[in-house]
Amino acid sequence: MTDPEILKKAIEKAEVNGFAGGDVHMDKDEEGVIEHCIETGLYASIIFSHDFAKAFWGELILCKTCRTEIHSPVSGSNEYIGDCDHFKIENRGSNGDGSIRGWGNLIIEWEYYLQQMVLEEEPLKYLRKYL
């Protein structure tokens, strides 16, 4: 898959999940627009934006160490649980202010994958793994 194909498919996936283009307004279906974004580096302002990452990867809460999903057992509950050794039982629950106790070992899904993508020499190839 070429870089323009990866970018177009990644934008389409994000759009299905609510991405509206952020600060970059373009018609990805117009001939040459995707190629222009690749050639000029404009694609970086799209794929490294928080809005794109949220829509592309989602907002589940994950353990940083093993990427196990940490979730609330009852909708609207302040109790968070996870089935991994890194999110110990003493970390379960909230601090009473809406924040999660033990948050230091947790990360929101899109933040994790965005951090990983920033480290990649070829971020579009990284995105390709999740299409």
Q: pTM of the full predicted structure?
A: 0.74
The whole-angstrom separation of Cα 104 and Cα 101 is 8
Domain ranges across the chain: 3-57+121-128
Secondary structure of 69-85 in the HEC alphabet?
A: EEECCCCCCCCCECCCC
Q: 119 with 1: CB under 8 angstroms?
A: no
Q: Is the pLDDT of residue 69 over 70?
A: yes
d(CA 91, CA 86): 9
Question: Facing residues of 106 across strands?
Answer: 63
pLDDT confidence of 119, banded at 50, 70, 90? very high
